[in-house]
Amino acid sequence: MQSISIEDLEKGDENDILNRIEKTNKVLIVNVLNYEHLAVFSKIVKQTSRKIIFRTAASFVKAFGNFEQKEVLKKEDLIKENNANGGLIIVGSHVPKTTAQLTELLKTDIEAMVFDVYDFFMSDAHPFVSKIILKLDKILRGGKNVVLYTSRNVVLGKNKDENLQLSTQVSNALVTIVQNLKVRPAFLIAKGGITSSDIATKSLKVKRAMVLGQIEAGISVWQLGDEAKFPNMPYIIFPGNVGTDESLKNIYEILKQA
């Protein structure tokens, strides 16, 4: 694993940085502190003929595309079709920031459904998940907004391997739930880095999406491609440790149906 340091970017030796990009075998970590660092790297990396998969935060898109600063997105920028169904929020992250944001969200008018992790492991997975899917479809069809969140009590295994296995089972269940929804939500917010990635690629089958911008700093909005389960639907990528305690509530208030 190789890396490019902040000092490398500030020195600005394009040939040296490009050479490292060209010679990296698998993973290259790029360290940045600001948009100036991103701009330097973006200019250089565009010179390579290599095909690269970028795993980044939302700020990279602005720098790489050389886009001007835009205002945060409003509801009219996102929901352009007449969809009377409710919106859906999936919360899988367990970090303290997410729990604080969920607490604020639950003070609003949103319908709440708990994915009880303990009950899930004590039950037959198929009927447990099927019951949630039916309930979500009914709520969404009725025009109500709903949040499905994993219970805050973390079920632990005997060791790290078991913990990973249990976490994967819960993640797969959330994927299955969204994958089998029959009702198209007006919008979808996925809270948590792994949660949002898995739902995008596994549940929604996203191959290509348009990045519309940010609804809050560090929280990007995609418009899903035609190949997705719900084409052209606004999909909000909300990492677990991003935002203030009120961010999830504020975004919901922007998006919710009147």
CA angle 83, 85, 91 (to 5 degrees): 120
pLDDT at 257: 56
Q: Compute CA distances 29 → 3, 20, 245, whole Å.
A: 4, 11, 30
Q: For 109-144, how does the pLDDT look when each residue is reduced to its tens digit (9 = 90+)?
A: 999 999 999 999 999 999 999 999 999 999 999 999
pLDDT at 166: 87
Q: For 167-201, how does the pLDDT look when each residue is reduced to its tens digit (9 = 90+)?
A: 889 999 999 999 999 999 999 999 988 899 999 99
pLDDT at 258: 46
CATH superfamily, domain 75-255, is Four-carbon acid sugar kinase, nucleotide binding domain (3.40.980.20)
pLDDT at 105: 97
Domain boundaries of the chain, sorted by first residue: 2-65, 75-255
Give the predicted TM-score (pTM) of the model.
0.83
| Cα–Cα dist 212/221, whole Å | 6
Residues of the chain predicted below pLDDT 70: 257-258
